[in-house]
Amino acid sequence: MAISHVSADSVVGDNTLAIPSHATDDVILVYCVEEATLSTPSLPSGYTDIFSGLDANAYGYRICFKKATSGAEADVTFTVDSDTQAAVAISVYRDCNTTDPIGGSAETVAIDGATVTFPSGTLEKADSTSWLVRVCWSGHAGGAMGALADGSVDRVDDFATPVNIYIGDSDGGVSAWGTTTSAAPGWDDWGAFGVELLVAAAGGPVPVVIRPRFSNQGMQRARYI
């Protein structure tokens, strides 16, 4: 069994987004960022927080997830100061560990510079079964994030006023977690994150118990040998 990507979607200038295609037990990874705010986006009901905070230049952010309990999960909505200053991105994954799908995580926030540097981290499972998801926001200047240096597959690369929002992943198992870069498409303010997705536990073989069977005739013969 291996992790696979199912679907993704995003919106800029709103705080609500419908969950794209998904099924029971899929992991729904959700990212919200808001510009010009004094608070972090709320944690939606039923979701578990991974990262949240407020940087020095008034960008509030939150990354969270939930395990789908059906194929018709409700739209996700974040409470923010201004809907039009927010952006939301979702990426859905299948065959992750259903008990605890998140392994290692790392963040680099509010670093000024012309290049976005995604942080390195420590994998909980360095056996090439985990996937690495890269998430980023940056100030808006009218361009997409573009390909990352490590070859991550873009799932969301949405740019519009007021922010750019990005989700990419390794599209396969990884055994190491180093830094990677992308040219910042917006202002110098940005935040970059990494999240390890753990694969579903493998089911072991079902033990078979073999019991000897004796017919009455066979037991009678055995008595007289």
Q: Would you state the pLDDT for residue 111? A: 63
Q: Would you state the pLDDT for residue 217? A: 46
- Choice among 1-5, 59-63, 111-115, 170-174 with the minimum mean pLDDT: 111-115
pLDDT tens per residue, range 165-193: 899 999 999 999 999 988 666 566 788 99
Distinct helix (H) and strand (E) counts, the chain: 1, 14
CA 47 – CA 50 distance, rounded (Å): 10
Q: Would you state the pLDDT for residue 110? A: 65
Q: Would you state the pLDDT for residue 63? A: 97
Helix (H, G, I), strand (E, B) or coil at 139: strand
Nearest to 101 by CA among 221, 30, 196: 196
pLDDT tens per residue, range 71-122: 999 999 999 998 888 999 999 999 999 899 999 999 988 666 667 889 999 9
Long-range contacts of 201-208 (CB under 8 A, 24+ apart): 201/97, 201/99, 202/1
Alpha-carbon torsion, ordered 80, 6, 128, 153, to 10 deg: -70
Nearest to 198 by CA among 67, 109, 83: 67
Q: Would you state the pLDDT for residue 203? A: 59
Q: Would you state the pLDDT for residue 182? A: 83
pLDDT above 90 coverage of the chain, percent: 58
- First CA to last CA distance, the chain: 54
101 prior amide bond cis, ω within 30: no
pLDDT tens per residue, range 130-142: 999 999 988 765 5
Which two structure tokens, joined as six digits, stand for 191?
């935040």
- Is the pTM here over 0.85, yes or no? yes
Q: Would you state the pLDDT for residue 142? A: 57
CA-based Rg of the chain, rounded to a whole angstrom?
23
